[in-house]
């Protein structure tokens, strides 16, 4: 590890010791018979503890120069499989085909430069994840947990809240990492909701949400010009909003109902 050159381009900030991984394990409450997906095992400090507390770990690491370090650090574990590849390029469903498990968790200290693409990929892959426990930059955590009418509320907030109940677990100081990043981090838990609102056409819902937030300073009428505005207004009125309202005012249920009304 001494000679290892950290690569900024891969968002490599490794946890210095085992105390944060232990805390992550404590809060994750991993049930028996769980497969855990980890994105970016780095030198394996979290990976080890995940392996100690779950049935199996499937990890994705883009940096092949970590293979030697990981082989050494994880030599005594038989329940860890590492795929050396870019997680964003993988067919996750295909990768999961050979695993038997009752619960699926994603637990990771995410590479910050692709936090949102990673979470969107998990959502869009259609796999049923029971819980996601991830370390993200503090500001990003605020965005994911934002409520309507706040500055941080955006399309990713709506998507994540569609599937998950999101909670902030604890803050991790920048001093816990090597090399030391410029910002503090937060551990979030995203627990799959028991009741997920019915969306008739998910790709329409997804496009509608993205388009609504496309230009943050524009109102819904301007961002959604190409849609049937009469149908949109019908729903908005019901909830006391107008076409002059902005996307950041609308709660999840309103987006769902607009999308369902448009696909009628
Ligand atoms: N889990 C380790 C820890 O907590 O010490 C390392 C976390 S570090 C913030 C992020 C890790 O993600 C690095 O090991 C990096 O090489 C890896 N990574 C970056 N981009 C990736 C990608 N597209 N697919 C898979 N792994 C990636």
For residue 14 and ligand 1, the question of a CB distance below 6 A is answered with yes
Half-sphere exposure at residue 2, Cβ-oriented, CA atoms within 13 angstroms = 0
The residue whose C-alpha atom lies closest to atom 8 belonging to ligand 1 is 12
Q: How far is the CA of 80 from the centre of ligand 1 (A)?
A: 16
Q: Give, using CA atoms, the residue closest to atom 19 of ligand 1.
A: 10
- Residue 116 Cβ < 6 Å to ligand 1: no
pLDDT per residue as tens digits for the range 170-216: 999 999 999 999 999 999 999 999 999 999 999 999 999 999 999 98
How far apart are the CA of 81 and the centre of ligand 1, in A? 15
What is the full DSSP assignment across 100-136? --SEEEEEEE--GGGHHHHHHHHHHHT---SEEEEEE
Q: What does the pLDDT look like over 156-173, one tens digit per residue?
A: 999 999 999 999 999 999
Do 38 and 60 meet the contact criterion of CB atoms below 8 Å apart? yes
User: Does the model's pTM come out above 0.85?
Assistant: yes
Residue to probe by mutation, ligand 1, list 58, 62, 186, most atoms within 8 Å of CB = 62
Cross-strand bridge partners of residue 192? 164
């Amino acid at each position: 590890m001494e000679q290892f050159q950290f690569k900024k381009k891969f968002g490599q900030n490794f946890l210095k010791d085992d105390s944060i991984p232990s805390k992550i394990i404590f809060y994750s409450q991993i049930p028996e018979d769980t497969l855990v997906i980890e994105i970016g095992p780095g030198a394996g400090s979290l990976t080890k503890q995940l392996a100690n507390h779950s049935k199996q770990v499937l990890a994705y690491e883009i940096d092949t120069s970590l293979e030697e370090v990981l082989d050494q650090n994880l030599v005594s574990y038989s329940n860890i499989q590492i795929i050396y590849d870019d997680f964003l390029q993988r067919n996750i469903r295909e990768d999961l085909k050979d695993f038997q498990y009752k619960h699926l968790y994603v637990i990771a200290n995410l590479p910050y430069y692709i936090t949102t693409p990673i979470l969107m990929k998990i959502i869009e892959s259609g796999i049923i994840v029971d819980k996601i426990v991830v370390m993200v930059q503090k500001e990003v955590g605020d965005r994911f947990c934002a409520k309507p009418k706040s500055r941080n509320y955006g399309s990713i907030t709506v998507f994540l809240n569609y599937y998950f109940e999101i909670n902030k677990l604890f803050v991790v100081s920048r001093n816990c990492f090597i090399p030391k990043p410029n910002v503090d981090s937060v551990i979030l838990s995203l627990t799959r909701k028991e009741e997920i609102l019915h969306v008739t056409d998910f790709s329409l819902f997804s496009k509608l949400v993205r388009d609504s937030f496309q230009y943050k300073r524009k109102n819904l009428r301007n961002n959604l010009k190409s849609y049937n505005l009469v149908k949109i207004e019908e729903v908005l009125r019901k909830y006391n909003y107008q076409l002059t309202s902005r996307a950041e005012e609308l709660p999840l249920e309103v987006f769902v109902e607009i999308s369902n009304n448009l696909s009628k």
